[in-house]
Structure 1
Amino acid sequence: MKLISKILPLVAAMTLWGCDNNQHAAKDNEEQQYAVAKISTQLPHYLERDIRDEVFYFVMPDRFQNGDTSNDNGSKTLVESQGGFDKTSKGHYHGGDIIGLKDKLPYLQEMGITSIWMTPIMRNQAVQGDSSGYHGYWVLDFSEIDPHLGSNQDLKDLIDAAHKLNMKVFFDIIANHSADVIKFKECHGEDGKQWLGATPGLCDYKTLEQVANGDKYTVFVPEGSENIKTPQWLNDPKYYHNQGDSTWEGESAIYGDFAGLDDIDTDNPEVVAGLIDVFKGVVSEFKPDGFRIDTVKHVNMEFWSEFSPAIVDHAKSLGIPQFFMFGEVYDSTPEFLSTFTTTGKMQSILDFAVQSGIYKSLIEQKGTNELEAIFNGDHFYKDEDSDASQLVTFTGNHDMGRFAYMLDRENPDMSEAEKLARIKLSNALMYFSRGIPVVYYGDEQGFVGDGNDKDSRQDMMPSLVASYNDDDLLGTDATTADDNFDQSHVLYQDLVALANLYVKHDALRHGAQAQVYAQDTPGIYAFTRTTEHAQYLIVANTATTEQKQTFNMSYKGFEPVVLAKDKSEDNGEVTINLAPLSYAIYKAQ
């Protein structure tokens, strides 16, 4: 065990909050049986608001709410964006759409959400193989919304409605690849429908050296698909790498096809200019508040250093001064992650490192020094226009699976009460440590899932997927066969409580973070958040037993409330007794 540093001198009394703090949440009216957190109404105007004030909700529109059943089968005229609807299959469209999402804005606002991040919504190739593009990552047309989700006007209406609630809307975009249209005769045969390679379903990757020596695939576009993509230049195979499937290692991670999707040649200056124009057009047409960028590490760094400033500058020229972009870099090493915000000139990335630290501390039940080690890497992110406080934090997602699933996978005999306590503590660490928290849709309703990818993309509306509906949800007797927008759910209410604390205390959003204490076993993790005018101490207990710890606080006197049993000595020492799997927050007065 070790005390990392002395806490800065604090003045006068301190106030303690515990993790069961729903009493702080406001009620809309006397009849309402649940607390709410409309924190977007208490924050600065969305156009001027600092990104560190946000609480994100990451949602897959197809799996959220069906507001218009007439679009369930997609386009009525474009065959390539038609069909793929099957509510019984976890790999197909289920009918959720933009209108449905707009209808549920009050549900999100009252949970304390300030920003909505949607999976990609541009027009997709509806069907590839035995699955469909419900997730949005098989883009054909970068200029219009996928017809399964609605119309361009529906999207504009959603953004307008969110802005009226002082909430933001973020798009998920892809520059690495487009839909799988291009074929290789050596792999797919003359008709593009066969598998001739050594491994069914894969086209062996050809290295840059092989290509330079003339060992190339014979590239073609199947008849009828020659003009299937928009803008038009994306239909020309010369703008793609065409080197076969990525093995996720070495150069193939950049130049190989991502699961067969057409890998765009972002080394080509014409492509760089073309993609900048594409996404400038998206910003001009819809005026979103920012982008999350997919598969960032599978694109050459030089592209991002040119693309990122160009898009942000364009958005600012249109009157979106706080336009914000963050990238997906699937890696848990701060030194590597930070290269995309420094060299790559991105404003932020998804913080897979913090996700890993929370996972190790609360799921694998390792020491709290796992968190310490991650935050010790924060200095890597510091440059002239960004730092670690702008990183986007999360505990699970649509690729790796839900936090509750990972918890159950590693601890199958754990009680429901302990699982809920660990989930609540993971949320508190995400909200109150530096960074911008993301709630993955359905987590607030106790969704668990059977795995990653498709198994973590359950329906919030009543589901017909058998493998979803046999899940044992946490904190409820409901299943995914039910409508799951219960605002009294224990986890929804926990997020309400966190949001109300988050908005009430500016330092919990903006404060510089300094680590105070960590240990090599489950137990106490403590850190401070400090601004010019305030300082807070956050203490978490990751152990299943009460933990006692003494801190040299360098001040006298405080008032304990709710959870911890505390004693203050005249010499400035503070002894904290913290309940299992709980947290406390102290504020200097």
Structure 2
Amino acid sequence: MKKRLLFILIPLLLFYGLPSEAAEKEVRTWQDETIYYINIDRFNNNDFSIDQDVEANDPNKYHGGDFQGIIDRLDYIKDMGFTTISLSSIFDNEDDGYHGNWTKDFQAIEEHFGSLEKFKELVTEAHKKDMKVLVDFNANHVGPNHPWLKDAEKKDWFHPEQNTNLETSWVEGLPDLAQENPDVQNYLIDTAKYWIEETDIDGYRLENVEYVPVAFWQEFTSSLKQVKKDFYLLGDLRSENESIISKYEDAGMDVFFNYSINKELRAAFVQPDQPLSIDHSRPVAGFMDNNHMHRFTRDSIEINQHPGPRWRLALTYLYTTPGVPFVFYGSEIALDGGEEPDNLRQMDFRTDKELIEFITSIASVRQQLPSLRKGEMEVLYAKDGMTVYKREHNGEISVVAINNTTKSQSVTISSSELEDDKELRGLLNDDMVRSENGEYHIILDREEAEIYLLAEKTGLNIPFIVATAGVVVLFIGFLFLLKRKARK
């Protein structure tokens, strides 16, 4: 009976002796993802057997990047803390369509990147590493010389070239598909479903969202989520009109790029001492740059700012505010680049690793704290580049301080905004701020950021010590009983 009691008590005491931070793991949702976007052709060339028409010195030609090159760099991406890779279009493109915008065949793989089997291997290897895979899907248009244009039976698959309506106009002179045509709608939806069923991808980044009718997107999103319930749809919506954004939001997409927020972020972080005031009323994919614009690094270089600090502060904000961080390949090395195609320069894996290490750190903190991924946000202080805000989720409170100024800053937060008699534990720089007389005094050096967790003041954990001592005593008693029985 005594031995039976010991076997019961020991695991119970061990369980209750664990620190309170060992809470039950939350279910992973898309809010928990951190996305790394790759232009396949410009990332990594590791299968030279399929190189054809490759001219690495010509920004308008293929450079040789392929699926195998991405497979070989999955650990590099995962080690930085990214949980999802988002790929430029994998579909067969017309000549020199390295960017993926000149679709020739929606149902075939671009041969410059590899085979269908190799792409399946990429998805499988990513899934083994607990990473998701998104693919660009452009339902708006096809390449400039698509075979359908010469097919008389498909004349009604396109809108007339001269058209001023947003949803029927030819974007950048590319043939605009008539999604209101049932045949076109069925073809695009069936194709999108085919790639899910064939390759087990996890989502699409949808290009040119506002150029396609809402009715089509409603049918598209509904159909795809019947195939895979948690399939993720990221809309590249360039409009800044609130009524248009709301209209497409209701169509069933999970999250959007928000270009108005991007403008605010670029203006705020391109140099010190800039105000920061951004609305987070809807879920967004926060980004500093993407395949449609010049690099953020170019902004800082043009005004003689070092891009390293600019990127560190901007990324801290992206990783700690509501939404899904979306990082364009090369940002981790502050890759430079002007307008397209200069923004799609070749990735370089032999550069300085300082910014990579910083991204790894903030990604780790983001994954540790659910409040940074799912919590409500409240700004506690904002003035001329110094910003402090808190995130709260299920009782966990994190506080983020960003000093985007040219001098050290001191900010006092009262107990009316944070619980009294606790401490803020810095998770990036090991800073510690304890409450004093109902106030928290945060001090940050110039161009630095810190992420804090609000916690009980550090001291002896008496309940844990008592429980641990109890376990030791019971274990010694247990050994004594075994020894005694052995003698008998």
Q: What is the TM-score of this pair, normalised by structure 2?
A: 0.82
CA deviations over 1:429-464 (Å, ceiling 9, x no partner): 001111111221111123112x1211111112xxxx
Q: Contact 1:327–1:349 at 8 Å: present in 2 too? A: yes
Q: Contact 1:43–1:53 at 8 Å: present in 2 too? A: no
CA separation of 1:182 and 1:99: change in aligned 2, threshold 3 A:
closer
CA separation of 1:494 and 1:444: change in aligned 2, threshold 3 A:
same
Match of residue 238 from structure 1: 156
Match of residue 162 from structure 1: 126
Match of residue 463 from structure 2: none
State how 1:115-126 maps to structure 2 within 5 Å: 115-126=84-95
Separation in 1, partners of 2:273, 2:249? 29
Deviation beyond 6 Å, 4+ runs, structure 1: none
Match of residue 313 from structure 2: 425
State how 1:19-418 maps to structure 2 within 5 Å: 49-73=28-52, 83=53, 85-126=54-95, 132-181=96-145, 221=149, 226=151, 236-244=154-162, 251-316=164-229, 322-332=230-240, 336-342=244-250, 344-363=251-270, 367-371=274-278, 374-375=279-280, 378=281, 381=282, 388=283, 391-409=284-302, 411=303, 413-414=304-305, 416=306
Separation in 2, partners of 1:445, 1:533? 36
Q: 1:494 aligns with which of 346, 352, 358?
A: 358
CA separation of 1:578 and 1:565: change in aligned 2, threshold 3 A:
farther
Separation in 2, partners of 1:91, 1:323? 33
Separation in 2, partners of 1:586, 1:288? 36
* CA-atom RMSD in angstroms: 2.4
- Residue 270 of structure 1 aligns to a residue whose secondary structure is helix
- Residue 537 of structure 1 aligns to a residue whose secondary structure is strand
Separation in 1, partners of 2:447, 2:247? 35
Separation in 1, partners of 2:341, 2:396? 44
Q: 1:443 aligns with which of 311, 331, 342?
A: 331
**Rg (Cα) greater in structure:** 2
Separation in 2, partners of 1:565, 1:167? 34
CA separation of 1:565 and 1:336: change in aligned 2, threshold 3 A:
farther
CA separation of 1:364 and 1:238: change in aligned 2, threshold 3 A:
farther
Count of equivalent residues: 427
Match of residue 460 from structure 2: none
Q: Which has the higher contact order (CA 8 A, sep 6+)?
A: 1
CA separation of 1:92 and 1:392: change in aligned 2, threshold 3 A:
same
Separation in 2, partners of 1:580, 1:147? 49
Q: Contact 1:61–1:149 at 8 Å: present in 2 too? A: yes
% of aligned pairs identical? 27
CA separation of 1:156 and 1:144: change in aligned 2, threshold 3 A:
same
Shift of 1:582: 1.6
Amino acid at match of 1:58: Y
Separation in 1, partners of 2:242, 2:403? 24
Q: Contact 2:424–2:432 at 8 Å: present in 1 too? A: no
CA deviations over 1:332-380 (Å, ceiling 9, x no partner): 45554343212x2211111323322211211265743433xx33xx1xx
Q: Contact 2:159–2:176 at 8 Å: present in 1 too? A: yes
Shift of 1:585: 2.0
Which runs of 5 or more structure 2 residues have no equivalent in the other structure?
1-23, 456-488
Shift of 1:309: 1.6
CA separation of 1:393 and 1:559: change in aligned 2, threshold 3 A:
closer
Amino acid at match of 1:586: Y
Match of residue 4 from structure 2: none
Match of residue 558 from structure 1: 423
CA separation of 1:51 and 1:549: change in aligned 2, threshold 3 A:
same
Separation in 1, partners of 2:444, 2:98? 45
Match of residue 407 from structure 2: 545
Mapped pair 1:584 → 2:446: no
CA deviations over 1:470-525 (Å, ceiling 9, x no partner): xxxxxxxxxxxxx5255x61111111111111111121112122222223xx2222
Mapped pair 1:525 → 2:387: yes
